[in-house]
C-alpha cells in the first residue's frame, strides 16, 4: 500500500500502475471536504516518493465519482472574509496543481456524477474515461459561486472558450455522449466495462500510444479566444448572457467571464490565481450567502419530508375529484409517476377536457424526446375518467379539487367519504379554506388533510400538506408520501386561513392596494418589484392569478386576520373586479391582454384602469404621487416578511428553511435573496425593526412582530 488515508488509498497494481482511489470513510459519497483535501495533499506526496509508479488509475469507491465540495463547510471558511477565502482557494490550487504535475500519466474512470470540484479533479487528470451512465458538470453558479478548484481555467483550455462559457453558464450536467462530443472527456465506456477501458487507456499512455504530455501541456498554457479580438468577443458574450441572467442579481455570472478574459493569455499558475481572486470576491456576496442557504434549506425540507412520510400507508391507487385545470393537472402528474388514478367529474365535457389536457402534455413531452410513445400510452391508461364513484372502494387516497367554495367542497367531500373505505385518506386541494372547518362535516376527520397544489401542477414543485386539528399522523404521512411519489416537494404546515403561502402573499397584495390608494403608479410598482427580482410585479401577478380569485382569497384572509388584513376601503383589485375585469382569463385586469402574431397574449397598459381607480385614490389621480423605488419596495416587502415571521412564531411552519423554501417554490420569491427570513437577516434584525417602525403608521401589517423585536434585542438571526 502506497498510501492509506481517510479519503484516499493508493495501491500498486501490475506493470508499475497504481490505483488512486477516492473512498471517503463514513460517508455515502465522495466530496471535497477538509479531510479529503488534506488527504489528497498527502496522497500526492506519497506518489512522488515512489518512483516505481509509472501511471495512476484514478477511481472512486462509491457509486458516484465525487459530488463536489462539501458545502456545509463553506460557512466556516467564508465567515473569515475575502483574503482568507482567497488564501484557502490558492492552497487548494496548490494541491490540485501538484496532482496534475505528477510526471506520470493519470487516467480517471468517471463512474457516476462528477460535479463541481469532482469534475475539476477529472480535468486535472491527463485522460478522462467516462461511464455511459455518468454525468459531469460545473453547477457552481447555482450557488452564487464560480468554479474555484481550477475548473474555469482547465475547462476553457480543454474544450475551448466558447464551449466552456456555455457549460459553466448553463450549470447543466452533461451526459457522456455530449461530454465526449464537446471534448470534455476522451472516451466513453459501457458502465460495467469502465475500469477495464480506463486501465487499457492508461497502459496505452504509458506505452506512448496516447500523447498524454500534450494533453497536459494544453492546460498549462494560454488559451485562444474565438475571433482573436478578446475585447469585442467578451463584450458580445456578456450582452448575450445578460438577456437571461441579470449580473447585478447574480454577480457570479459576470465573474466567471472576467476570469476567462483576464487569464486567457496566462499560463496555468497565473491563471488560477485570477480564478481564486474572483472566487473569493463572489463568495462574500449576499447572493452567494442566499443561494448556498437555499441549497442547504433544500436538504432540510428533503429530510423533513422523509421524516414526515415515515408512517405513510401505501398508495396503490388514487382519485381526483374535479377534472379542471387543477384536478386534471394532479391526475396527470400522478399518472406520469406511475400511480393509477380515477379522475371524476360530474360532466363528460369536463372529463374530456381533462383527458385532452393530459394528452396534450404528454404529446409535448414526446415531441421533446423526453418520453417514448409507449410511455405516453401507458401513462394515459393510468388515468381512468369517471362520472360516478364506482371503484372508489379500491382507492387509497382521494384529492378533492373542485371550485374554491366551502359549501361546494363540503358536499363533495361528504359524498366522497361515503364511497371510500374507512381507512382511506381524504384530502382537499383548497388554497384558503380551513381544513379544520371542512372536517366538521366528515365522519372520519382523522383521515382528512389538506394538499394544496400550485398551478400549473406539472411545473410548480411545492405542495403544502395541511394538518387540521384532528388530522392523524398517518393521514399526513400518506399525503406527504404521495406528493413525494409525484416528484413534488411537500412541506407540512398547520391549519390557519391561507395556510402559509397565501397567508404571506396577501399582505403583500394588501400593501400594493394601499400604495395605489395613496397615488402610486401601478406600472412603476411592477417595475420596481421586478427589478427587486420578482418574476412579475403585484399587478401583473394579480392578473395571472385572476382578480376574482384574489378578491375571494383576500376576504378569507381579512376574516381570519382582521387586525392587519381587513380594510375600510375598496382596494384597487376589488374595484377592477367589480367592473368585470378578471385579469388574463378575460383579457383585462390591471393590464389588457392582446394576442400577438404568434397567438400569445401580451400585456399592455390600459388607460381605462385610471378612470376606474380614480374614485378609490386619495391623491389627485392614480399614479400622481411619485414614490421612490425604496419606498415601494419597503412597503411591499415589510408586509410580507412580517407575516412570515408571525408564521414562524406561531409554528405554522416548522423551520425558517421550510418557510423560505415555500416562498421560493410557491411564489417565485427571488432566489438570489434566499427567501423572506434570509432577507430580514441580510438587512439585519435591528435595522429591519427600525424600518418597520418607520412605516408603522400605515397599520399593523407594517409593525414589527414581537418575535423580531426580541431577536433584534438578543442579536439573533434566523440563519447562523
CATH label of the domain that carries residue 615: 1.10.1040.50
Cell of 201: 487507456
Please list, in sequence order, all residues whose beta carbon lies within 8 angstroms of the beta carbon of residue 20, skipping any fewer than 6 positions away.
Answer: 8, 10, 43, 47, 56, 57, 58, 59, 106
Same domain, 172 and 267: yes
Task: State how far the Cα of 339 lies from the Cα of 381, in Å rounded to an integer.
Answer: 11
Same domain, 466 and 543: no
Same domain, 111 and 232: yes
Task: State how far the Cα of 129 lies from the Cα of 483, in Å rounded to an integer.
Answer: 38
CA nearest neighbour of 603 among 615, 613, 614, 589: 589
State pLDDT tens for residues 2-30: 999 999 999 999 999 999 999 999 999 99
Report the 10 Å Cβ neighbour count for 2. 17
Stretch 218-242: mean pLDDT, rounded? 89
Q: Are 417 and 410 in contact (CB under 8 A)?
A: no
Same domain, 212 and 326: no
Same domain, 353 and 422: yes
The reply to whether 595 falls in a domain is no
Mean residue pLDDT of the chain comes to 96
Burial class (CB in 10 A: 0-12, 13-18, 19+), 260: buried
pLDDT at 227: 76
The reply to whether 310 falls in a domain is no
Q: Are 197 and 129 in contact (CB under 8 A)?
A: yes
Task: State how far the Cα of 37 lies from the Cα of 28, in Å rounded to an integer.
Answer: 17
φ/ψ of 309, rounded to 5, equals: -90, 0
Stretch 462-470: mean pLDDT, rounded? 98
Span between the terminal Cα atoms of the chain, in Å? 42
Dihedral of the alpha carbons of 178, 179, 184, 187, in degrees to the nearest 10: -110
Stretch 517-543: mean pLDDT, rounded? 97
| Consecutive H or E run containing 489 | strand 489-494
Indicate the number of domains in the chain: 3
Among 460, 495, 530, residue at a domain's last position: 495
Stretch 190-212: mean pLDDT, rounded? 97
Among 284, 307, 327, residue at a domain's last position: 284
Checking if the pLDDT of 595 tops 90, the result is no
Task: State how far the Cα of 178 lies from the Cα of 709, in Å rounded to an integer.
Answer: 54
pLDDT at 514: 97
Cell of 384: 381512468
φ/ψ of 675, rounded to 5, equals: 115, 165
Same domain, 385 and 521: no
The reply to whether 291 falls in a domain is no
Same domain, 219 and 255: yes
Task: State how far the Cα of 633 lies from the Cα of 631, in Å rounded to an integer.
Answer: 5
φ/ψ of 474, rounded to 5, equals: -65, -40
Stretch 685-694: mean pLDDT, rounded? 98
Q: Are 651 and 447 in contact (CB under 8 A)?
A: no
The whole domain housing 411 covers: 315-495
Cell of 314: 401505501
pLDDT at 231: 80
Query: Which residue reads 405542495 in cell numbers?
Result: 463
Checking if the pLDDT of 38 tops 80, the result is yes
pLDDT at 188: 98
Checking if the pLDDT of 154 tops 80, the result is yes
Please list, in sequence order, all residues whose beta carbon lies within 8 angstroms of the beta carbon of residue 645, skipping any fewer than 6 positions away.
Answer: 676, 677, 680, 705, 707, 708
User: What CATH number has the domain bearing residue 277?
Assistant: 3.90.226.10
Three-state DSSP string of 333-388:
HHHHCCCEEEEECCCHHHHHHHHHHHHHHHHHHHHCCCCCHHHHHHHHHCEEEECC
CA nearest neighbour of 189 among 242, 111, 264: 111
Give the model's confidence band at 229: pLDDT under 50 very low, under 70 low, under 90 confident, else very high. confident
pLDDT at 601: 82
The reply to whether 300 falls in a domain is no
The reply to whether 596 falls in a domain is no
Q: Are 312 and 474 in contact (CB under 8 A)?
A: yes
State pLDDT tens for residues 51-95: 999 999 999 999 999 999 999 999 999 999 999 999 999 999 999
User: What CATH number has the domain bearing residue 482?
Assistant: 3.40.50.720
Give the model's confidence band at 324: pLDDT under 50 very low, under 70 low, under 90 confident, else very high. confident
The reply to whether 602 falls in a domain is no
Cα 45 from chain centroid (whole Å): 40
Task: State how far the Cα of 692 lies from the Cα of 216, in Å rounded to an integer.
Answer: 58
The reply to whether 439 falls in a domain is yes
> 3-class SS at 95?
helix
Is 452 annotated as catalytic? yes
Give the model's confidence band at 596: pLDDT under 50 very low, under 70 low, under 90 confident, else very high. confident
Give the model's confidence band at 325: pLDDT under 50 very low, under 70 low, under 90 confident, else very high. confident
Q: Are 398 and 321 in contact (CB under 8 A)?
A: yes
Please list, in sequence order, all residues whose beta carbon lies within 8 angstroms of the beta carbon of residue 230, skipping any fewer than 6 positions away.
Answer: 261, 264
Q: Are 277 and 86 in contact (CB under 8 A)?
A: yes
State pLDDT tens for residues 491-515: 999 999 999 999 999 999 999 999 9
Task: State how far the Cα of 325 lies from the Cα of 328, in Å rounded to an integer.
Answer: 5
Among 427, 461, 495, residue at a domain's last position: 495
Q: What is the CA radius of gyration of the chain?
A: 29
Same domain, 477 and 574: no
Residue 456: asked if its preceding bond is cis (omega within 30°), the reply is yes
State pLDDT tens for residues 263-291: 999 999 999 999 999 999 999 999 999 99
Give the model's confidence band at 427: pLDDT under 50 very low, under 70 low, under 90 confident, else very high. very high
Same domain, 491 and 555: no
Task: State how far the Cα of 95 lies from the Cα of 41, in Å rounded to an integer.
Answer: 6
Cell of 308: 414526515
The pTM of this model reads 0.93
State pLDDT tens for residues 388-425: 999 999 999 999 999 999 999 999 999 999 999 999 99
Q: Please report the sign of the dihedral spanned by the C-alpha atoms of residue 544, residue 547, residue 552, residue 557.
A: positive
Residues comprising the chain, all counted: 720
Same domain, 424 and 527: no
pLDDT at 600: 82
Q: What percent of the chain has pLDDT over 70?
A: 100
Q: Show the beta-strand stretches assigned E in 158-273.
A: 174-175, 187-189
The reply to whether 503 falls in a domain is no
Burial class (CB in 10 A: 0-12, 13-18, 19+), 580: exposed
| Per annotation, catalytic residue among 50, 278, 452, 552 | 452
Same domain, 265 and 392: no
Q: What percent of the chain has pLDDT over 90?
A: 94
pLDDT at 306: 96
Task: State how far the Cα of 395 lies from the Cα of 684, in Å rounded to an integer.
Answer: 50
Same domain, 696 and 560: yes
Give the model's confidence band at 566: pLDDT under 50 very low, under 70 low, under 90 confident, else very high. very high
Amino acid at each position: 500500500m502506497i498510501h492509506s488515508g481517510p479519503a484516499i488509498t493508493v495501491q500498486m497494481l501490475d506493470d508499475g500502475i497504481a490505483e488512486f482511489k477516492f473512498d471517503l470513510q463514513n460517508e455515502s459519497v465522495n466530496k471535497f471536504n477538509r479531510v479529503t483535501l488534506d488527504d489528497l495533499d498527502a496522497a500526492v506526496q506519497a506518489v512522488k516518493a515512489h518512483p516505481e509508479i509509472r501511471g495512476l488509475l484514478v477511481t472512486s469507491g462509491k457509486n458516484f465519482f465525487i459530488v463536489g465540495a462539501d458545502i456545509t463547510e463553506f460557512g466556516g471558511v467564508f465567515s473569515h472574509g475575502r483574503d482568507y477565502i482567497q488564501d484557502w482557494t490558492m492552497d487548494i490550487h496548490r494541491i490540485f496543481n501538484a496532482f496534475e504535475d505528477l510526471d506520470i500519466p493519470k487516467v480517471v474512470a468517471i463512474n457516476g456524477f462528477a460535479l463541481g470540484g469532482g469534475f475539476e479533479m477529472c480535468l486535472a487528470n491527463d485522460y478522462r474515461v467516462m461511464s455511459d451512465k455518468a454525468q459531469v458538470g460545473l453547477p457552481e453558479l447555482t450557488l452564487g459561486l464560480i468554479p474555484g478548484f481550477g475548473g474555469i481555467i482547465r475547462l476553457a483550455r480543454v474544450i475551448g472558450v466558447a464551449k466552456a462559457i456555455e457549460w459553466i453558464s448553463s450549470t447543466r450536467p452533461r451526459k457522456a455522449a455530449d461530454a465526449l462530443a464537446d471534448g470534455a472527456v476522451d472516451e466513453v465506456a459501457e458502465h460495467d466495462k469502465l475500469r477495464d477501458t480506463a486501465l487499457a487507456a492508461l497502459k496505452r499512455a504509458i506505452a506512448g500510444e496516447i500523447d498524454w504530455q500534450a494533453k497536459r501541456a494544453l492546460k498549462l498554457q494560454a488559451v485562444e479566444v474565438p475571433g482573436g479580438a478578446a475585447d469585442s468577443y467578451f463584450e458580445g458574450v456578456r450582452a448575450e448572457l445578460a438577456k437571461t441572467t441579470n449580473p447585478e442579481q447574480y454577480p457570479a455570472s459576470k465573474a466567471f467571464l472576467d476570469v476567462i478574459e483576464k487569464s486567457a493569455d496566462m499560463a496555468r499558475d497565473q491563471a488560477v490565481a485570477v480564478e481564486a481572486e474572483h472566487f473569493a470576491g463572489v463568495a462574500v456576496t449576499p447572493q452567494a450567502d442566499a443561494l448556498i442557504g437555499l441549497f442547504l434549506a433544500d436538504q432540510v425540507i428533503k429530510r423533513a419530508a422523509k421524516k414526515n412520510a415515515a408512517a405513510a400507508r401505501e398508495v396503490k391507487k388514487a382519485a381526483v375529484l374535479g377534472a379542471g385545470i387543477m384536478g386534471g393537472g394532479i391526475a396527470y402528474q400522478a399518472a406520469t409517476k406511475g400511480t393509477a388514478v380515477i379522475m371524476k367529474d360530474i360532466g363528460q365535457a369536463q372529463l374530456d377536457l381533462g383527458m385532452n389536457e393530459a394528452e396534450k402534455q404528454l404529446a409535448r413531452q414526446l415531441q421533446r424526446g423526453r418520453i417514448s410513445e409507449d410511455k405516453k400510452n401507458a401513462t394515459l391508461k393510468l388515468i381512468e375518467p369517471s362520472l360516478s364513484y364506482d371503484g372508489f372502494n379500491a382507492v387509497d387516497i382521494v384529492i378533492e379539487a373542485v371550485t374554491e367554495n366551502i359549501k361546494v367542497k363540503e358536499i363533495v367531500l361528504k359524498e366522497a367519504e361515503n364511497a371510500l373505505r374507512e381507512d382511506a385518506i381524504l384530502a382537499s386541494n383548497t388554497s384558503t379554506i380551513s381544513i379544520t372547518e371542512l372536517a366538521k362535516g366528515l365522519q372520519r376527520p382523522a383521515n382528512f388533510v389538506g394538499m394544496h397544489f400550485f398551478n400549473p401542477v406539472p411545473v410548480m414543485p411545492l405542495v403544502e400538506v395541511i394538518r387540521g386539528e384532528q388530522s392523524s399522523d398517518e393521514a399526513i404521512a400518506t399525503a406527504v408520501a404521495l406528493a413525494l411519489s409525484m416528484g413534488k416537494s411537500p412541506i407540512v404546515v398547520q391549519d390557519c386561513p391561507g395556510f402559509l403561502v397565501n397567508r404571506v402573499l396577501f399582505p403583500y397584495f394588501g400593501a400594493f392596494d394601499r400604495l395605489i390608494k395613496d397615488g402610486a403608479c401601478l406600472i412603476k410598482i411592477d417595475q420596481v418589484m421586478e427589478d427587486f427580482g420578482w418574476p412579475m410585479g403585484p399587478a401583473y401577478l394579480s392578473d395571472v392569478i385572476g382578480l376574482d380569485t384574489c378578491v375571494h382569497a383576500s376576504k378569507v384572509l381579512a376574516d381570519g386576520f382582521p387586525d392587519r388584513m381587513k380594510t375600510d376601503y375598496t382596494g384597487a383589485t376589488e374595484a377592477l373586479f367589480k367592473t368585470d375585469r378578471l385579469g388574463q382569463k378575460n383579457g383585462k385586469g390591471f393590464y389588457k391582454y392582446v394576442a400577438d402574431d404568434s397567438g400569445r397574449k401580451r400585456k399592455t397598459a390600459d388607460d381605462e384602469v385610471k378612470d376606474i381607480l380614480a374614485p378609490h385614490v386619495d391623491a389627485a389621480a392614480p399614479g400622481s404621487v411619485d414614490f421612490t423605488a425604496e419606498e415601494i419596495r419597503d412597503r411591499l416587502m415589510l408586509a410580507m416578511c412580517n407575516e412570515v415571521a408571525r408564521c414562524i412564531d406561531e409554528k405554522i411552519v416548522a423551520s425558517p428553511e421550510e418557510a423560505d423554501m415555500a416562498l421560493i417554490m410557491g411564489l417565485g420569491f427571488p432566489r438570489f435573496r434566499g427567501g423572506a427570513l434570509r432577507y430580514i437577516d441580510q438587512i439585519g434584525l435591528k435595522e429591519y425593526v427600525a424600518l418597520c417602525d418607520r412605516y408603522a403608521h400605515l397599520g399593523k401589517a407594517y409593525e414589527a412582530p414581537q418575535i423580531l423585536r426580541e431577536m433584534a434585542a438578543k442579536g439573533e438571526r434566523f440563519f447562523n
